[in-house]
Amino acid sequence: MRFAFIRSERDAYPITALCHVMQVARSGYHAWAVRGACDRRREDRVLSVHFAAAFERRRRTYGSSRIQVDLQEDGMRVGRSRIARLMRENCLIARRKRAFRGTRGACLTDRVSRHRLDRNFTTRAPNRK
């Protein structure tokens, strides 16, 4: 994180001053700048391509556990937490199914009560209808 900041600001300020402010060794920055990505990061990039394709193939509805099953069927052994981390980093969020909500009207049409008053609301005494 510090080295990335130094890289982004190296055009505006000298590297020596940036390293001093960020409290890192100048040789450490230069070693980081020359060093390539580690094996794990390279594998993550390859995996990201594979599971992004599987994610799109399944219409963006599969989460990390179902993507893991897809990758296992393709012969790749990857942990679910690693897939979940890579999905978060690539902003791949599965769409959730909407909950089923039935309508009340469909149920009530089967049980219609008799119309006892027949729109005659006049009474001779209280509590007589």
User: Are the C-beta atoms of residues 5 and 22 closer than 8 Å to each other?
Assistant: yes
Rounded CA separation 118/35 (Å): 90
Average of per-residue pLDDT values in the chain: 87
Instruction: Point out the least confidently predicted range of 46-60, 91-105, 112-126.
Output: 112-126
CA distance 83 to 62: 12
Residue 19 has pLDDT above 90, yes or no: yes
- What length is written for the chain? 129
CA-CA distance, 44 to 37, in Å (whole number)?
11
Ordered by start, the domain boundaries in the chain are: 2-34, 39-89
pTM of the predicted protein model: 0.57
